[in-house]
Amino acid sequence: MTEAAVRVPELVEPPRHRAIDDIAGLAVGALVISFGLFLLKSGGLVTGGTAGLSLLLGYVLPIPFGAIFVVVNLPFFALAARGKGWRFVARSLVSIVLVSLLTSLHASTVGPLELHPVYAAILGNVLCGVGLLILFRHNSSLGGFTVVALVVQDRFGFRAGYVLLALDLCVVLASFTVLAPVLVLVSALGAGVLSGIIMLNHRPGRYRAS
């Protein structure tokens, strides 16, 4: 056996995003997610995560979605700081504020929409899933359940999508207290689409840039 045949490959340092890459990534991810949430709200639906929980609370409380979304995510920042570091916390906070502001912007700019619930559930959750993947690529999230899912994935190897699916199910079940049963079922379909996107595209070690 030749020396070339037994040579150990050199370890290559994972690529790192430039600052401009991260800024653009957070902005685009937040924009995509915010429009997905706008579509879900227009369809009278909920989704998983703290975004879905905030939508649910917004149907019963006279408080803007953006304010609810920020407050709901605050308790999760301690876990994020311990499990993912302060840089992750800072970027997630920026993402949450951007999503909150942009969701309100869509509502005031586009105006009310009449959407079929199934259409709103599928397209809204696809957009949220794509946006979350963009945030994950740039060491950010929307706090809340995604923080729990990413910490569990990093520490125990369970895919973030499976963890999110279990947590999202709790939110969907809670929506039975507010929404009509048919809308709950459609919301569950959408939440499954969102979790499927995360499970298929976000796995440990698949993407190394940070």
Rounded distance between C-alpha atoms, residue 8 and residue 136, angstroms: 31
**Pairwise CA distance, residues 75 & 168, whole Å:** 17
Structural domain boundaries in the chain: 18-201
The more confidently predicted of residues 92 and 14 is 92
Q: What angle do CA 46, 49, 50 make, to 5 degrees?
A: 90
Range from 71-80, 98-107, 193-202 that averages highest in pLDDT: 98-107
Q: Where are the alpha helices (DSSP H) in 138-207?
A: 144-156, 160-174, 181-201
Looking at residue 205, its pLDDT comes to 57
Q: Is the pLDDT of residue 137 over 50?
A: yes
pLDDT at 202 over 70: no
Residue 8 reports pLDDT greater than 60:
no
Cα dihedral angle (54, 59, 62, 65), rounded to 10 degrees? 30
Q: What average pLDDT score do residues 112-128 get? A: 92
Q: What is the pLDDT of residues 52-94, one digit of tens each?
A: 888 889 888 888 888 888 888 887 777 767 766 788 888 888 9
